[in-house]
Chain A
Amino acid sequence: MWSGLPKRSKNKMERPELPSYLKTKIDETASKMKVDKKKLLASATEEYLSAQVEPGECVGLVAAESIGEPGTQMTLNTFHFAGVAEMNVTVGLPRIIEVLDARKTISTPMMEIYLKSPYNKGKDIKKVALSLKETALEEVIKDLSISIADLTIELTLDKEKLKDISMMPVTVQKLIKAGVKELNMKIKDDLIILNLKGKDVHLNQLYKAKEKLKKVFIKGVKGIKQVLPVKKGDEFIIVTSGTNLKDILKMGTLIDTTKTTTNDIFEIHDVLGIEAARQTIIIELRKVIDSQGLNVDMRHIMLVADIMTNTGVIKGCTRYGVVGEKASVLARASFETPIRHITNATLHGEMDHLSSVVENVMINQPVPIGTGLPGLITKIKK
């Protein structure tokens, strides 16, 4: 593990260079407002240097305050319409909590699917959208019944609906056969008759088979429950409820894989990696905070996202996540479940080096943060 103070150059404290965004901004403004670029650069650099953080600043706490304080002003109302019934988005405080907890299953998974030209101009948008939607057999059935006398299931397909998703009845039949293996299939014109293999068929079994039949996967992408074409800017995109980033990204001919995204952080992590997950946390927090009309600086949100992801896995701000992995026993104990932490500490013979805040508060010592950070070395007169 790394220890000791960061190395510094001998001459003077190194100032970070001007960030690139600021440089371009200076260039732009200089030409736009017709001022001398060098002078502007000089004054902007001065301004930038004077706005640097002080070493020792407890930026973590400031970030926590900046996100926690407006939390009291957020709405608790969970749902908000996004155009279609059944298509809701969790907003406000519940969503913030969900993101910061790093919940594995979120209450309203959603995707924003960007399309390649010409689909993004609106060509066949409805058809494309519907082709993504997960369709189960029950959605394309006109009639489904159990004939108790013959102990068979009778089923008629809805041809119009099949046409909507551009599928042939034959392919559906094949899918049925593959999907429910315990059934034999006979076809009489439009009617599909199914009966259970083997002897001694119980009605119960048949009923179970019927339920299974209903859920047979026909078309689309698994997990995509609703689709909705939306115009965003001058581009058509598809908003979905339910996500399946991995399979969607495979459809490279149709979909703009560079922009398509989901709001499920873990899915992003699995498919695109931890950096992308960090970015998603930032975007999701930003979305909620902006939608509530609150003003919280980006740096705070980034810091929270960084602490949640800096070990390479997503950790929530809970006793199992970030807090649970602190080095200090007392810091963990002061959060939640102190007894568990203390008993575990005895097993390992853990040593608390009192290097963070709460432990020092507990034993009435100055905290090594902010003004408590620097030590003073002086010669004592003897």
Chain B
Amino acid sequence: MENEPTVHKKVESIQFSFFSPKDIKKMATVKIVTPELYDREGYPVDGGLMDTRMGVIDPGLKCRTSGANFRDCLGYFGYIELARPVIHVLYVPLLLILLRCTCRECGRVLIPQNKIGKFTDFLNKVEEESGVEMRRSKVKDVITSIKTVNKCPHCNKKQMTVNLEKPSTFLENEKRISPIEIRTRLEKITDDDLRVFGINPEFIRPEWAVLTIMPIPPVTIRPSITLESGERSEDDLTHKLGDIVRINQRLFENINAGAPEIIIEDLWDLLQYHITTFFDNDIPQLPPARHRSGQPLKTITERIESKEGRIRHNLAGKRTNFSARTVISPDPMLGLNEVGVPFVIATKLTVPERVTEWNIAYLKKFVEKGPKKYPGANYVARPDGKKKKITDETQEQLLEEIQPGYVVERHLMDGDIAIFNRQPSLHRMSMMCHRVRVLPGRTLRLNPAVCYPYNADFDGDEMNLHIPQDEEARAEAEILMQVQTQIISPRHGLSVIGAIQDSISGNYLLTKEMILSRQEAIDMLYQIGVRNFSKLGRKEKVTGKDVFSCLLPDDFNFKGKSKKGDEVIIADGRLIEGVADSNNLGGEAAGLLLRTLHKKYGEEATVDIIEKFCKLGIEVLFKRGFTAALADTDLTDEGTQKVHSVLEEAYTRVDELIDQYKNNQLEIFPGRTLEETLELKILEVLNKARNETGKLVALHTRPDSHTKIMADSGARGNIINMAQMAACVGQQAMRGKRIEKGYTTRTMSCFRKGDLKPAARGFIRGSFKSGLTPSEFFFGAMTGRDSLMDTALRTPKSGYLYRRLANALQDLKVEYDYTVRDTNNKIVQFTYGEDAVDVSKSENGIINVERLAEALKK
């Protein structure tokens, strides 16, 4: 590589056009004359569909055109001469328009000469406004407005109506026009007239769409596979082409033999069918061509279209080497921007390193170790690009051979750059750059704090890891994609990375009331990597707030709200008031503490602090112990009593309402029916009762129970979850109403008809701990199923919405003058977002002037 000049070619543009018969003949290397594929020895037949002049797929053979083997030869087209012309299905709509809008005798457009100019201007305008397709359909409209004359304005010949009998038969006054006739008519259309239709005659002549010769795609795009039994199985396209060639031969023979017209017509139609299905096997009016097994053939259109087609599967989306995928698991001791990679993967994935005279000794060490020992190397690439695998045999020789200019593909090591990804990749934080940490074990490890941007959990999720292979890619990944650069979401300008779960519980406990001995505090802080204990002071007993303050920068000031709404005040890097809970520590765009830290101290410092917050929280729980227990949901006797009476009261209240309803005493809400009013009132009473039990549970369970701490700190769950376990599950609602479905006028056959009592309409009085009655359980299952269904239906819908949005917006970019433009350089916005502010650099979408003023005050 070093000695040869590297030529970088860039594709400037791609031109689309239609092959003319001349082009087809010119590019073809062989004329196909026989449907046979192989001779008796299994060697491709000359003039057959597998002719070696069209390329080869057998490793043993050489292409007769280029002389290269199957790896290097891309293949060449062949052609067949059709006995009779055949219509190209994909161009049927075009042909129909042309036949209808041109004279059947002279081939001119059915617009009087003096008006053509006027209409062309009009059509050009249409095209500019709404695209070529609109133009073409407008031509039809223009013609119909004049067509009433029914005579050609140029030669005065009478015109007839042309109709299409799908898929590809054209009728004129109920009589069929043969493709030959069609072709001669199309030939007569002048180039200038074609331009009226928005057809560029430089690239397509309409008569070409009536095929007289057909290109045969190279063998390499329709490779056959050899089955285990040694039998060959041909590609669908080859099958189809075989049919075409066979019928074409038969048609030739019959014509030459002077067979009756009917037989020739039949064969002609058959040829038309085969060629039609060769292009598109999914035409509504035609039975699809099938395999012997009955499964439809996959022909050209099917190969290109749909998600599994060439375009979306192979062109717009590609597979990569140097990637790994396995189950993930958490490791809070890892840095935020680290990823734990198992040894097994680290010895398979490699990083290429170029040998220079300065690192040759260093790289030789890897080669010495070989592919099995870690850290070793798997391949050595010579300057000419030839790769050699390091094995026991080659090792010695390679060690000697290595010199500057060689490339060693060494194993993955700590600190290497990797891109980590979890599907579905819905936003840019779904792919972030991490630093590798090679660890024992068989899973990829990540810090639980980065779960939120990936939307990952550890119930069996798998994630992908990619190793960039050159300096440019590595630099981009490092500068643009590292975790610390992604803390602030471009969606709303708030932090998406923050402490979760246990880390939050721990910090909450610590800052709420904990008092530790100085020794304990120092142990804990030292454990998480803090070395500056000055904020603890000289006291023997330190508070949790002091310990927490040790993580904060000295000049940090912050005022915010905790989850409960109390003030949280940090002054000069000390937590003075309030607790640290999910509102300030958490990711998920909760509070502004992390956002402010990020703004003031930058991303590196923020990552460092988030890591320490996480570790501190866990360290606290290590010290203190933390378990959720069944006893957490025990109510005091008084509590049980109160819950009971609250529910009893609600039940009587509902009974009263039902009585009122039956006696027509209910006051109707405006705009509602009597029944709806009743339902609303009952729902209100029951919901109130459930909320009441929630409050009672909060009061009458142990205030320091761990379940409660989790709910209070915002680490997981809420008080309603607890109430459902301890006191009462509450009303099950579907579509915002009590459950009504089931039998007529009742939900289940165990209730009375028309029963409106809470229990009969999905109110679950029991708690999860006390257990549910069968009917209650069933109601719970109903809403559970409903919500499952909702998720299952929503995912594909929102996925499609996202795809469409991405496709519509993907090529908008900000120019140097802060305008937003599309690829045609058309301006979409004069200033991005009207103020050119990048959301991920803003604070919740704004420039926080108050904060700046606050800072000025100090």
Are A40 and B804 interface neighbours, CB within 8 A?
Answer: no
- B262 interface residue per 8 A CB criterion: no
A29-B853, A303-B828, A347-B200 given as contacts; is B805 within 8 A of A64 (CB)? yes
Taking CB atoms, residues of chain B closer than 8 Å to A302 are 829, 833-834
B829-A25 in contact (CB<8A): no
Given known contacts A29-B853, A65-B427, A343-B90, A358 and B809 CB-to-CB distance under 8 angstroms: no
The CA-CA distance from A350 to B133 in the complex, in Å, is 13
Q: Are B491 and A296 in contact (CB under 8 A)?
A: yes
Answer yes or no: B758 CB below 8 A from chain A CBs: no
Please tell me which one of the listed residues A16, A60, A361 contacts residue B813 in the complex, with CB atoms under 8 A apart. Answer: A60
Determine whether A83 belongs to the interface, using a CB cutoff of 8 Å to chain B.
yes
CB proximity of A237 to chain B, nearest CB, Å: 16
Which listed residue (A44, A48, A51, A356) contacts B823, Cβ 8 A? A356
| Contact B806 A61, beta carbon cutoff 8 Å | yes
Complexed CA–CA distance, A343 and B206 (Å): 12
Pick from B676, B809, B827: contact of A303, CB under 8 Å: B809
Contact between chains at B835 and A347 (CB < 8 Å) = no
Q: Mark B813-848, 1 if CB is under 8 A from A, else 0.
A: 111111110111111110111111111011011011
A residues 46-70 touching B (CB-CB < 8 Å): 47-48, 50-70
CB–CB A35/B856 < 8 A: yes
Cβ-based interface call for A323 (8 A)? yes
Interface string of B192-213 (1 = CB under 8 A from A): 0000001110111000000000
| Assembly CA distance A153 to B853 (angstroms) | 79
Query: Does the CB pair B312–A71 fall under 8 Å?
Result: no
Instruction: List residues 193-219 of chain A with CB under 8 A from any CB of chain B.
Output: none
- How many of B's residues come within 8 Å of A, CB to CB? 105
Query: Which B residues touch A361, using CB under 8 A?
Result: 315-316, 318
Known contacts A33-B853, A52-B837, A53-B814, A323 near B90 by CB under 8 Å: no
Known: A68-B798, A69-B802. A60 touches B815 (CB 8 A): no
Which of B303-311, B499-507, B540-548, B702-710 is the contact stretch? B303-311
A149 contacts partner chain B, Cβ-Cβ < 8 Å: no
Contact B823 A328 (CB under 8 A): yes
User: Does B257 interact with chain A (Cβ within 8 Å)?
Assistant: no
In the complex the two chains form, is A83's CB within 8 Å of B311's CB? no
**Partner pick for B11 among A87, A299, A337, A365, CB 8 A cutoff:** A365
Interface: A19 (CB within 8 A): yes
Residues of B within 8 A of A343 (CB): 90-91
Q: How many pairs, one residue from A and one from B, have CB atoms within 8 Å of each other in the complex?
A: 352
Contacts of A295 in B (CB 8 A): 491-492, 494, 589, 844
Number of interface residues of A (CB under 8 A): 123
A5 to B813, CA, bound (A): 13
Is A357 a contact of B810 with CB atoms below 8 Å?
yes
Q: Establish whether residues A63 and B809, one from each chain, have CB atoms under 8 Å apart when the complex forms.
A: yes
Q: Enumerate B776-831 residues with CB–CB distance to A below 8 Å.
A: 790, 793-795, 797-799, 801-802, 804-820, 822-829, 831
CA distance in complex: A79, B815 (Å):
42
Residues of chain B from 260 to 290 with CB closer than 8 A to chain A in the complex: 280
Check B227 for interface membership: any CB of A closer than 8 A.
Answer: no
Return chain B residues, CB-CB under 8 Å to A19.
Answer: 834-835
For residue B666, give the distance in angstroms from its CB to the closest CB of chain A: 16
Name B309's contact: one of A96, A328, A338 (CB within 8 Å): A338
Q: Which of A360-380 contact B (CB under 8 A)?
A: 361-363, 365, 369-371, 373
Partner of B814, one of A22, A33, A59: A59
Closest A residue by C-beta to B798: A71
A228 at the interface (CB under 8 A from B): yes
B318 proximity list for chain A (CB < 8 A): 361
Stretch at the interface among A180-188, A259-267, A304-312: A304-312
Query: Is B817 a contact partner of A8 (Cβ separation < 8 A)?
Result: yes
Contact pick for A14, options B12, B14, B798, B817, CB 8 Å: B817
Q: Does A334 contact B (CB under 8 A)?
A: yes
Q: Are A29 and B810 in contact (CB under 8 A)?
A: no
* Bound Cα distance A51, B671 (Å): 51
Give, as a whole number of angstroms, the nearest-CB distance from A136 to chain B: 20
Contact partner of A299 among B131, B795, B833, B853, CB < 8 A? B833
Q: Tell me whether B15 and A57 are in contact (CB under 8 A).
A: no
- In the bound complex, CA of A3 to CA of B824 (Å): 8
- The 7 A-B residue pairs with the shortest CB-CB distance, nearest first, are A349-B203, A60-B812, A68-B802, A299-B833, A60-B809, A71-B798, A356-B811
Q: 19 more A-B contacts (CB under 8 A) besides A348-B132, A351-B14? A: A1-B825, A35-B856, A36-B856, A51-B841, A60-B820, A61-B806, A65-B491, A69-B427, A70-B491, A76-B794, A77-B736, A80-B736, A85-B676, A307-B809, A307-B822, A317-B808, A343-B90, A347-B94, A359-B14
Between A and B, 30 residue pairs with Cβ closer than 8 Å are A16-B818, A22-B835, A39-B856, A44-B849, A48-B837, A48-B847, A52-B841, A58-B812, A59-B820, A64-B805, A65-B806, A68-B426, A68-B801, A68-B805, A93-B798, A299-B837, A310-B828, A317-B808, A323-B807, A334-B311, A339-B304, A344-B132, A344-B133, A349-B204, A352-B13, A354-B13, A357-B810, A357-B811, A365-B10, A370-B813
Residues of B within 8 A of A (CB): 10-18, 90-91, 94, 131-133, 198-200, 202-204, 280, 301, 304-305, 309, 311-312, 315-316, 318, 426-428, 476, 480, 490-494, 589, 671-673, 676, 735-736, 790, 793-795, 797-799, 801-802, 804-820, 822-829, 831-839, 841-842, 844-845, 847-850, 852-857
Q: Which residues does A use to contact B, with CB under 8 Å?
A: 1-8, 13-14, 16, 19, 21-22, 25-26, 29-30, 33, 35-36, 39-40, 43-44, 47-48, 50-72, 74-77, 79-81, 83-85, 87, 93, 96-97, 100, 228, 295-300, 302-304, 306-307, 310, 317-318, 321-331, 333-335, 337-339, 342-359, 361-363, 365, 369-371, 373
